[in-house]
Amino acid sequence: MDPLILGVISIFVLFFLLALRIPIAVVLLLIGLLGNAYLVGWKASLGILGMVPFTNISNFILTCIPLFILMGMFISVSGLLRDIYSSGYSWLGHLPGGLAHATIVACTGFAAVCGSGIAAAATMGTATLPEMSRYKYDARLATGSVAGGSTLGIIIPPSIPLIVYGVLTETSIGKVLVAGVVPGLLCAALFMGMIYFWAKRNPAIAPPGPRSGWKERFVSLKGTSPVIIIFLLVIGGIYAGFFTPTEAAAVGAFGSFILALSRGRMTWKGLFTALEQTGRTTCMIFLIIIGAMLYMHFLALTYLPMELADFVAGLPFSRHVILTLILVLFILMGCVLDIVGLLVLLLPIVFPVVKGLGFDPIWFGVIVTLTGAMALITPPVGLCAYALSGVAKDVPLGVVFKGILPFFLIQMASLIILVAFPEITLFLPRLMG
């Protein structure tokens, strides 16, 4: 059989096996193993299988993944999210939709020190939903702003998906992380603009709260300073070239541990839970990365990614038409996959095409992560929506998804803006050495 055809078949088999609820990592390993065996023989294929785990685990760059996850866990334990939230509230609470603004601010702050969205959805949900329901906020706006805001976690660095993207595409992790800063802030600003106009047009859904005094506002900033310090240290350190991402992550994890300890929030149980959840998430991600590496090894042998890239580059369409199709594919697949799944399943095929069309790899990393952020809240498998409905027991999931829709549209708008103006994403990493 022509290796090219084998490559195409492997993609169909891959999605068939995934549909049978076989774990992603197992499917990738199985297909990689069988495909390699067909092309280079069993002996060589098994040899590669034996080598792939150690080579891909024992990699200094990849060690930033558990360290960044741990940092986010410690920050969650420290209860910092609440402080940013109350500070955001004292500054913006009197505006239409004030509590929802405060929620977005808190999510943005949390995103700046935590690499995942799901933790933010659950933590923010417990902190802000009771308050919003006390002020008679519409349940759609309340849950929508928590779910939408929590997705910022994977766009604003540190971000686990951006790191996985860097690993899979051999793009500079430091640069991809720094590139996420401005798009994340843009997305947050658009969320807040939308909340403002929504609440302004229909004041009943979000009655404004009392105006806080200036003194109270400035005092409240004190509680947010740890976030700013840790963010500047970690991301600023990477930006300035003072740290590698791994070193930044370790310092960040250590710093946030000390922070939680100094605030009297760190208990033995909390420490153990943070370590345990970090370990579990790390193993899950690494097993998938190992699978992806084996599968990509096989795909490279079939020449499918290169041939496809050449073929697509020769098509008589504008490259933006093809990009649009690719992004639509990501958004649709995002309905049933999470972001890491999206990355490992689609990038091996799509990335060479995108690169062949002359798009910037760093920029594309941020773009696909934004589609991953959309995947966190799109039904039927929006992980943030589920995490949120787990804590908002009195709100039906249907209402949560209704409330999410405007936030999804804003993400879509951000996506279009970022595609139209790549400089928004790229100017910051370009300033790095």
Partner 1 sequence: MEKTIQSVSRWTNGIGLCALGIMVLVVTGDVVGRYFGFPVPGAFELNELLIVVLIGLGLAYTQAEKGNVAVGILVDRFSPRTQAFFDCLASVAGLIIAILLVWQTFLHGMMSLRAGEITCALQIPLFPFKFLIAFGALMWAFELIVELVRSTSNLRGPTKG
Instruction: Pick the binder of partner 1 from 1, 2, 12, 20 (CB under 8 A).
Output: 20
Q: For the chain, state the CA radius of gyration.
A: 22
25 lies in the binding site for partner 1 (CB under 8 A): yes
Q: How far is the CB of 60 from partner 1 (least distance, A)?
A: 5
Instruction: Pick the binder of partner 1 from 63, 126, 133, 324 (CB under 8 A).
Output: 63
317 lies in the binding site for partner 1 (CB under 8 A): no
Instruction: Pick the binder of partner 1 from 13, 39, 221, 381 (CB under 8 A).
Output: 381
Of 1-9, 150-158, 245-253, 424-432, which part binds partner 1 (CB under 8 A)? 245-253
* Cis preceding linkage at 203, omega within 30: no
Minimum CB distance to partner 1 smaller for 8 or for 61: 61
Closest CA to 274 of 63, 70, 82: 70
397 lies in the binding site for partner 1 (CB under 8 A): no
Quick check: 28 and 292 in contact, CB under 8 A? yes
User: ∠ CA 206-385-334 to the nearest 5 degrees?
Assistant: 125
What is d(CA 144, CA 414) in angstroms, rounded to the nearest whole number? 17
Q: How far is the CB of 22 from partner 1 (least distance, A)?
A: 5
Q: Please, which of residues 27-56 interact with partner 1 by CB under 8 A?
A: 27, 29-30, 33, 46-47, 49-51, 53-54
Minimum CB distance to partner 1 smaller for 177 or for 249: 249
Instruction: Pick the binder of partner 1 from 84, 340, 370, 400 (CB under 8 A).
Output: 340
Contacts for 355 with CB less than 8 Å, ≥ 6 apart: 309, 361
Of 58-66, 135-143, 165-173, 347-355, which part binds partner 1 (CB under 8 A)? 58-66
Minimum CB distance to partner 1 smaller for 54 or for 311: 54
Q: Please, which of residues 148-187 interact with partner 1 by CB under 8 A?
A: none
Instruction: Pick the binder of partner 1 from 6, 14, 24, 266 (CB under 8 A).
Output: 24
Minimum CB distance to partner 1 smaller for 38 or for 303: 38
Name the token pair of 418: 């970022």
Other C-beta atoms closer than 10 Å to the C-beta of 285 total: 22
Q: How far is the CB of 153 from partner 1 (least distance, A)?
A: 18
What is d(CA 226, CA 78) in angstroms, rounded to the nearest whole number? 10
Sign of CA dihedral 56, 60, 62, 63: positive
What is d(CA 201, CA 98) in angstroms, rounded to the nearest whole number? 14
251 lies in the binding site for partner 1 (CB under 8 A): yes
Name the token pair of 306: 């290169």
Minimum CB distance to partner 1 smaller for 364 or for 386: 386
DSSP secondary structure code for residue 206 in this structure = S
293 lies in the binding site for partner 1 (CB under 8 A): no
130 lies in the binding site for partner 1 (CB under 8 A): no
Minimum CB distance to partner 1 smaller for 18 or for 304: 18
Q: How far is the CB of 283 from partner 1 (least distance, A)?
A: 4
What is d(CA 87, CA 95) in angstroms, rounded to the nearest whole number? 14
What residue ranges in 325-432 does DSSP mark as E strands?
none
Given phi > 0 = left and psi -120 to 50 = alpha, else beta, which region is 241?
A: left
Give exposure, 172-190, as e/b (b: 16+ Cβ within 10 Å).
bbbbbbbbbbbbbbbbbeb
Minimum CB distance to partner 1 smaller for 42 or for 317: 42
C-alpha dist (Å) from residue 403 to 81, 132, 138, 341? 22, 14, 9, 25
Q: Which residues bind partner 1 (CB under 8 A)?
A: 17-27, 29-30, 33, 46-47, 49-51, 53-54, 57-60, 62-63, 66-67, 70, 243, 246-247, 249-251, 253-254, 257, 272, 275-276, 278-284, 286-288, 336-338, 340-341, 380-381
